[in-house]
Amino acid sequence: MTFVQKKLIGIVGARGHTGVELIRLIAAHPALELAFVSSRELDGQRVDAHVAEYRGELRYSAPAHEALPQLGADVVVLALPNGKAADCVAAFDQAGVDPLIVDLSADHRFDERWYYGLPELTRLRWHGQRRISNPGCYATAMQLSIAPLKDLLAAPPVCFGVSGYSGAGTTPSDKNDPDKLRDNLMPYALTGHLHEKEASRHLGVPVDFMPHVAPHFRGLTVTTNLYLARKTMREEVLQRFRHAYDAEPLVNVVDEAPWVSRIAHRHHAEIGGFAMSADGKRVVVVATLDNLLKGAATQALQNINRAIGVDETTAIPVL
């Protein structure tokens, strides 16, 4: 058996849904070991009391930002709400400590100094950067749906998104209240959503996006309407997507439109449908992914794996 020198990893903001998923993935990882998991609400409680997959004596803690650099982590994941990451990053910079930092918030997705880690589309842009910005869940689905046809676009793509309420986080709101969501579909941020700006920025084309929250807990679907500059056959569209993703273990191209109910707890994205208009100048593409996994924790681990020099899918179940 090959001996693996494990890297120590810390999670800041580990109480949230994504933090829990990360702990599960790390618990099965041969090259990572949890150094700390921070949560003010769970401070002092055992991690294994909240995440059954974890085996160990580690307890949640609540270190001040200034204390984070002294905790000895080789890798730090910031699983914090938007607007909270900068102080943590500043603490490491001021202490002269340089761990690999992966930010799951939107705080650095528009910062050219950070590597934007959507591996299937940006893998070749990684050149050993120690600061990685993890894409948003909706933005991941939108970009994967549009990128293979970007050179054929005649107009901005229009994306209709529906997510489970886990995407609204753990802080109580209308968007994660099961009673208000029951038998309901809740629209919000119908123009100017942050993921609309993110997808537009990184694709280099404007994208229109209309998000909604549904009563299910996890998984999202994005239906994208793409207007094409010339008549295109469905087979050409399908070939473009297969050429882009057939070698990707965490993107599956399927013929029929995928269902969100089939993606929960799965680590890949599914893209399909490819419904063509009669004139061949419009195609509708459907993408699904688990917003907590490929939309967050799994994608973060893809980026971490590459940065620590192991196979990109290490500890990620690929089915």
Distance CA 307, CA 301 (A): 10
Burial letters for 186-224: b for 16+ Cβ neighbours within 10 Å, e otherwise?
beeeeeebbbbbbbbebbebebbbbbbbbebbbbbbbbb
Distance CA 270, CA 289 (A): 6
Given the residues 35, 100, 137, 307, select the one marked as catalytic. 137
Which of 114, 310, 144, 135 is closest to 241 using CA atoms?
A: 144
* Identity at 39, one-letter amino acid code: S
* Identity at 96, one-letter amino acid code: G
Strand ranges in 111-200 using DSSP code E only, listed in sequence order = 115-116, 131-133, 158-163, 186-187
**For 61, which DSSP code?**
B
Distance CA 292, CA 19 (A): 9
Long-range contacts of 90-93 (CB under 8 A, 24+ apart): 90/65, 91/65, 91/66, 92/68
Distance CA 150, CA 290 (A): 24
State yes or no: is 137 an active-site residue: yes
Report the catalytic residues. 137
